[in-house]
Structure 1
Amino acid sequence: MLLNILKEISDLVQIVQGISLGHIISGKCSYFFDIVFLLSMRIRLYCLPLYTIKTSMNKFLALTCAVVFLLKTVKAEIITYKAPESNLVNHTIKVDVRQGTGNWQPVDVYTADVAARFDAQRIIKKTAFTYFDCSGSVKLRVKLNQGNIKEVRIRPTAYGIKPEVKGNVVEFELSASQYVSLEVNGNIFENLQIFANPIESSHPTKADAQTLYFGPGIHKIGRMVIPSGKTVYVAGGAIVEGSFVIDHAENVRICGRGILTQHPVQGDSVNPPNTTGTFSKFRNDHLIIQNSNNISVDGIIELPTGYSILIGESKHVKISNFKAFSATGNADGIDIFCSQDIKLDHIYMRNSDDCIAIYGHRWNYYGNTSDITVNNAILWADVAHPLLIGTHGDTDHPDTLQNIRVQNMTVLDHNENQLDYQGCISLNAGDSNLIRNASFENVEIEDIRKGQLFNLRVMYNRKYNTSPGLGIENILFRNVNYNGKRADMSVIAGYDDKRGIRNVIFENLKINGTLIFDKMPGKPSFYKTSDMANIFVGEHVDGVQFLRKD
């Protein structure tokens, strides 16, 4: 009987071998769940003699086993996109991808500007990136136009990816949804960023009247305002030169796998945005979302000259599977002003200013900022902060920035010479604003070039503020791990007796493998625990704790 059941299961599995995960997700394979049912029945027949359990539990067990079994046998899928010939294409690095022992598929490579130095002398370097979609794990083959490869590292290092080097060829495996940086001989500028996107579950077509569709190729749009109810689709292999504005709109979606850029795509000039009439009130940022509701951005890559995304006085905004590079002054990543219910998930930001900034009032944006979630973020700040909260506010009508939750964040770099703007995680209350109820969990900080791990200050920066901040309270750092030697001393400091910091908890803070907590072994009795973490705790600070929890 058992042999017969296994034979039937084997026959069903052979059918499944030809089904791609993309077809299952999109609903194109209508018989998939019929197979799940048949397999569950066969597995149930096998399970019943072994376990005497209630019928309902047996059905659940059988179906679970069947689904797990199927997902392990479904064929992985790879989707690549041909690049249009443009200034952005990189011809010196060759990348191929395959699943298992299948045929290698070429993947085109692009260039992006990054800031190698940004002070009295500005130096711009060309980094490289490539993208494709996949399900399951894939193997990459990268051929580099250089010899004498002494060292190759793939970051985030927490992924544990071990490359194999053969001459000038590097091979390694990636999983779907992993974004990584491949660096040769310690070169962090002329590196290769690889974005293994998940397979799109569905996408709009040109025929959809509510869709602005940009197919493969080059499109020059200047500055485009997107009205309510529209979907903008930027297909893989598309390059859109220009910028988007979502102003007083709702139910707008921008998605796809292509590239948006404010840099010239062909030749050496770019069509400037219209700055007259209706457009004169807008900044020249790449994507502006202001006074809007229910907006989503998914899957695209941006190469901006201003902010990658500005979110001002808006609600219910979700940014996911998003990547961006910048190299100019004040070219922040995602900046949030006076907004609520903002979700950032699965992003890779390499910027020449703050990667993520969460603010109160500035310009024409007013109100509190709350309920901000950042999850699965990889941040690389060639200048300024990876993550900044505070700074801007409304002295006459003080703002509160609250209910901010950051999880699963990796900081690949932080490089800032100015002491006022250091901190991989920086909470700087200014303009009478109050920062409270913020948590940072599962944070990996790699060996940054220059800066602090933490900078918590109630401050009065006369360049940007009209008054000191009101305070910072109820802050949790849980499972923060730093490995490196170059971080400067961190700072926690209030302003005065009425503008202080209270209730800051570090739980399972680990620095170079050492767990920092109040009763840690080896700490001299006359040391403060903060000394062991190289954190200066100044005046007007109360309730700082270093805890260990299993």
Structure 2
Amino acid sequence: MKRYSLLHLLLSMFLGLFIALGNTACSTDTKNSTIIIYPAPSNEILSKDYTLEVNGQKVDIYLAKIADVENPPSWTLDPKDVGGPYSFSYFDFSGEVNIKITSLNKSLDNLVIRPLLAGIEPKVDGNTLTFSISKPCKLSIEPDGRLEPLLIFANPLEINPPKQGEPSVIYFGPGIHKPENINLSSGQILYISGGAVVKGGVSVSGDNVKIMGRGILCGNDWPWRKGPGSMIGMREATNVTVDDIILRGSWGWTIPIYNCDSIAITNVKLVCSKNPNDDGINPCNSQRVYVRDCFIRTDDDCIAMKGINLGSNNDNIEYITVENCLLWSDRARVFLLGHESRAQYMRHITLRNIDILHFNMSPFLFEPGEEMSIEDVLVENVTAFADYPIQSGEKTFDFIRLKPAVNQYMKNQVPGKINNVHFKNISLTGEEKEGWYPIWVTGADPEHKVTNVTFENITWFNHKLDEQSPQVKIDNNTTNIHFINSGDK
């Protein structure tokens, strides 16, 4: 057995304490605010595009890779079209804090801060902007549109986080860790503290599992489709919560949820778009999935609901809620419902209070097949900004498409059905271009129809839409499709 002298042990303890203190979160209290800042690991490569100060304190800025895939297929994004790595930063606070950002490489002449509904009106002096915030928020600082923005995740203060050494807790403190595979079962808690970068994938099964913390779960070390499972993959799990963490650089589907019940994902930030097929959150054959107060940027679909498997007690996709979220898809759809779905129903879906910062293909694509019925869907209070596809050629995309379909993903080559869908208070903004982003409703045949769809207060580039609008196309095999605008009798 290797022996250590007392002096050696004391030196090791002192060195460990010194390193820990160097990576410890910095907490500052003033009369009007409390701020928690988490230093990045010393060997993390940081952004050289921006600097950030909160109440005069420096906050480290990380990088998220984009379109970084070897030998990409022809349908993927070209890196030159979507810019280089983008930047993101995070801190916790209460009260009111002052934000100061300096853009080191881009002019602020065309600066936009999204979401616009946040109402941030900064003071700009040369390449520096300042503003104040008094409640938690997620902001995209955009000197040049979708190209190389700075994302700011201003979190609320943590309340009673788990401590290292507690039973059933897998704890990652500040620094870089590479466990590669983390398996969670009933009653376990995974905690990724602020200042931690954990490289690997997480598999969840069983009951009452928690994933939480302020740190980063990172997939940058793995190429497309070569990572360990999924970044957070759930199978046959119930009562799972995922709170507050950041997921970066997924190699495939980021959070797939297979045959699960009662899943809550809150204040989670996905800074992806490194690889194709990096869907954000995929409820598959699952029930009672709640996604709240999240930020999702992906190359592929932000939220894709699928009914892939058959054979469990309940294969339906039911009671799915996505609300109070910021969504951004660089290449694909924002909400995709119906592909790869062999369940009987996809129903009781609520999508509300959504700000779509940027999108490429149709933001709302409902295409059920294999006899599955999409029904009882409410889409409410959505603002979407259209900055148009980067690579589309002559092809244009719909804003909303409701169309039972047959496609290459289906085992049974038959369409599905759509019934009882309500779009309410939906606004498409940006620059209007002829032929782009219409609403298209069409059935497949008399047995696979679209029925009972209401469009209420739909604003299309400042135009209120109705059945006669040129931007609306209602085809055959549809029943009871109608528009309502405020003031209509």
Q: How does the TM-score come out when normalised to structure 1?
A: 0.75
Give the AA of the match of 2:285. C
Listed as ranges, the matches of 1:361-372 within 5 Å are 361-362=308-309, 367-372=315-320
**2:367 aligned counterpart, secondary structure:** strand
Query: Which amino acid counterpart does residue 217 of structure 1 have in structure 2?
Result: G
Deviation at 1:488, TM superposition (A): 2.7
Paired position in structure 2 for 1:307: 253
Q: The residue matched to 1:446 in structure 2 has which SS?
A: strand
Q: d(CA) in 2 for partners of 1:79 and 1:261?
A: 22
1:354 matched to 2:293? The reply is no
Alignment of 1:483-522 (within 5 A): 483-484=429-430, 485-486=432-433, 487-517=436-466
Give yes or no for contact 2:368–2:417 (8 Å, CA) kept in 1: yes
The whole-number CA distance in structure 1 between the counterparts of 2:377 and 2:165 is 45
Aligned partner (choices 376, 385, 394) of residue 446 of structure 1 = 385
In structure 1, C-alpha distance between the alignment counterparts of 2:400 and 2:264, rounded to whole Å = 27
Q: 1:41-68 deviations in whole A, cap 9, x for unaligned? A: xxxxxxxxxxxxxxxxxxxxxxxxxxxx
Greater RCO between the two (CA within 8 Å, min separation 6)? 2
Q: Distance in 1 between matches of 2:240 and 2:106?
A: 47
Q: Residues 240, 506 of structure 1: CA spacing in aligned structure 2 closer, same or farther, 3 A cutoff?
A: same
The equivalent position to 2:372 in structure 1, one of 418, 422, 433, is 433
Shift of the 222–364 alpha-carbon distance from structure 1 to 2, 3 Å rule, reads farther
SS in 1 for 2:33: coil
TM superposition shift of 1:493: 1.1
> Which amino acid counterpart does residue 489 of structure 1 have in structure 2?
P
Structure 2 length normalisation: TM-score? 0.84
Please list, as runs of the form range in 1=range in 2, the aligned pairs for 1:113-128 lying within 5 A after superposition.
Answer: 113-115=65-67, 119-120=74-75, 122-124=77-79, 125-128=84-87
* Distance in 2, Cα, partners of 1:118 & 1:154: 33
The residue type paired with residue 163 of structure 1 is P
The within-5 A match list for 1:449-460 is 449-450=388-389, 451-460=397-406
2:253 is paired with a residue of what secondary structure? Answer: coil
Note the aligned Cα RMSD (angstroms).
2.3
The letter for the 2-side match of 1:215 is G
SS at match of 1:429: coil
Q: 1:120 to 1:459 in 2, by over 3 A?
A: closer
Q: How many residue pairs are counted as aligned between the two chains?
A: 437
Residue identity matched to 2:381: N
> For the structure 1 residues 121 and 546, does the alpha-carbon distance in structure 2 shift closer, same or farther, using more than 3 Å as the test?
closer
Distance 1:152 1:465 in 2: 47
C-alpha contact 2:112 2:145 (8 A) present in aligned 1: no
Matches within 5 A, 1:97-496: 97-98=54-55, 104-115=56-67, 119-120=74-75, 122-124=77-79, 125-146=84-105, 148-184=107-143, 186-247=144-205, 249-264=206-221, 284-303=229-248, 304-326=250-272, 327-362=274-309, 367-394=315-342, 398-416=343-361, 423-450=362-389, 451-484=397-430, 485-486=432-433, 487-496=436-445
Separation (CA, whole Å) in 2 of partners of 1:329 and 1:465: 23
Task: Report deviation, 1:189.
Answer: 2.2
Does the CA contact (< 8 Å) of 1:223 and 1:273 recur in 2? no
The CA distance in 2 between the partners of 1:81 and 1:364, in whole Å, is 46
The 1:339/1:414 distance shift into structure 2, 3 A limit, reads same
- Long gaps (5+) in structure 2: 1-29, 390-396
User: Quick one: structure 1 residues 353 and 162, their matched pair in 2 at CA, closer, same or farther if it must change by over 3 Å?
Assistant: same
* 3-state SS of 2:117 partner: helix
Q: Percent identity?
A: 29
Q: Which amino acid aligns with 1:200?
A: E
CA distance 1:543–1:269, change in 2 (3 Å): closer
Question: In the aligned structure 1, how far is the partner of 2:301 from the partner of 2:445?
Answer: 27
1:79 to 2:79 alignment: no
- Over 3 Å counting, the alpha-carbon distance change for 1:363 and 1:82 in structure 2 is farther
Bigger radius of gyration, 1 or 2? 1
How many angstroms does 1:148 deviate by?
A: 4.2
CA distance in 2, matches of 1:543, 1:346: 34
Corresponding residue of 2:394: none
